[in-house]
A and B are shown apart, each in its own frame.
Chain A
Amino acid sequence: AQSVTQLDSHVSVSEGTPVLLRCNYSSSYSPSLFWYVQHPNKGLQLLLKYTSAATLVKGINGFEAEFKKSETSFHLTKPSAHMSDAAEYFCVVSEYGSSNTGKLIFGQGTTLQVKP
């Protein structure tokens, strides 16, 4: 079964400094991996998606993530944090079933705090 572990439940950075949100996954095959962001009282917004085309994936709002198969990691980074980046971030892996069934498996989330 696929699983996702987000290594930090809470990350605090100062505005203008780099962001690193860590994610490890477990999958028996080459997975599809996602990062979603959730702002308070909002639904989830897709930041980026990995599907084996390139190991470095660029997303929206300056975020990017690198797929490292040897480390089973898919960490999310951003060079310079902005106050509007404060939100909860979810690392997600897809789990495939038979006959086009499947679902997304979510990590527990990382709350990003950005200090002025």
Chain B
Amino acid sequence: KAGVTQTPRYLIKTRGQQVTLSCSPISGHRSVSWYQQTPGQGLQFLFEYFSETQRNKGNFPGRFSGRQFSNSRSEMNVSTLELGDSALYLCASSPRNPTDTQYFGPGTRLTVL
């Protein structure tokens, strides 16, 4: 089976812009979780989707949003980018429950200038 894929792998944006990141889970996996990784805060949970519904959300401002499509692919969007949004954004999938083993993609490195 192909692993979790994320596109793009690298992004450079300027403050105030918005960005959309994409994640394709492992075939058959229906739960998709997103995490932000920064040197200062480590790995923090953003949100989790299952069957096109957001089941759980972390403590991030409303500028961070996401969605899931019927084929389980997921996107996350960050609007009005701030310098502090520079991070590695990781997507992970699991068959059904986010508390089961999650399989991670390579991440999207976002740099905000």
Contact = CB atoms under 8 A, between A and B. Distances in A.
B71 interface: no
A44 B99 contact: no
A97 B104 contact: no
B99 A96 contact: yes
A101 interface: yes
B33 A104 contact: yes
B33 A45 contact: no
Interface in A96-116: 96-97, 99-109
Contact of B96 (A46, A94, A100): A100
Given A32-B99, A100-B97, A101-B98, A43 B56 contact: no
A25 interface: no
Interface residues of B, number: 27
Interface residues of A, number: 26
Given A104-B98, A106-B42, A46 B56 contact: no
- If over half of B's interface residues share one DSSP class (helix, strand or loop), that class is named, otherwise mixed; here it is strand
Interface string B40-63: 001111001010000110100000
Contacts of A44: 90, 92, 104
Contact of B102 (A95, A101, A104): A104
Given A32-B99, A100-B96, A106 B43 contact: yes
A106 B90 CA distance: 13
A90 B43 contact: yes
Interface of A: 32, 34, 36, 41-46, 49, 90, 94-97, 99-109
Given A42-B106, A100-B55, A101-B48, 4 more contacts: A46-B102, A102-B56, A102-B98, A104-B102
